[in-house]
Amino acid sequence: MTGMQVFGDNNNPLQGTADANTDKPQGDIGIAGPLAFWIIMLLAGLALLILFPNGIAYAAGSTSLMLYNIGSYIIYMPGAIIFPLIVALWIGMRTGVNTQSIKKAIDVGVINAVYTSVIYVISIFIIYLIAIYSSVELLKALPTDTFVVYLVIVPVATLLILTPLIGLLRRARSQA
């Protein structure tokens, strides 16, 4: 059976590599999946806001009004609170599993939270520029101060606080 890929071996890059002594994964902490999901959902919400702008006269119960409200909901509720919680939980859990000590879990958690926040801020800035230049009506629907608070400050603060905390708790739970 030489040369065959055996199911369950640790050569899979998604599983990481195994430590010979502990059999725990020591791989990379992947942030691409949850961060891509978060940004794609924000882009979907933005697309709904662009396609169904607030300036159109809506009839009560119309499909256009419903899709506009769904776009606003995606941008402000999950975009500001739920998606950052999911990303912080994902990264924190991976950090706690892939580190050897509590101090290392905190350090790696902070580094990953800052890294994710920088990528997110750049992405949200690009999304905001797309929103500004795509529709004059959308500019009225997305005031800059509201956008900054709900889509920059709250998500970044959530990531910076919860990612190291969850990593710390996960590592402490494993060592207890």
- pTM of this prediction? 0.74
CA terminus-to-terminus distance, the chain: 40
Q: What was the pLDDT predicted at 9?
A: 44
Rounded to whole angstroms, how far apart are CA atoms 115 and 45? 24
Confidence of residue 163 (pLDDT cuts 50, 70, 90): very high
Rounded to whole angstroms, how far apart are CA atoms 35 and 127? 14
Q: Cβ(113)–Cβ(88) under 8 Å?
A: yes
Answer whether residue 2 shows pLDDT above 60: no
> Which of 7-16, 65-74, 76-85, 96-105 has the least mean pLDDT?
7-16
Kindly state the average pLDDT of the residues 134-159.
80
pLDDT greater at residue 62 or residue 37: 37
As given in the structure block, the two tokens for residue 43 are 């882009």
Kindly state the average pLDDT of the residues 84-105.
90
As given in the structure block, the two tokens for residue 17 are 């590599």
Rounded to whole angstroms, how far apart are CA atoms 50 and 133? 10
Rounded to whole angstroms, how far apart are CA atoms 18 and 7? 14
The conformational region for residue 11 under phi > 0 = left, psi -120 to 50 = alpha, else beta, is: alpha
Count CB atoms within 10 A of the CB of residue 176.
5
As given in the structure block, the two tokens for residue 171 are 């590592």
Kindly state the average pLDDT of the residues 76-86.
86
Confidence of residue 135 (pLDDT cuts 50, 70, 90): low
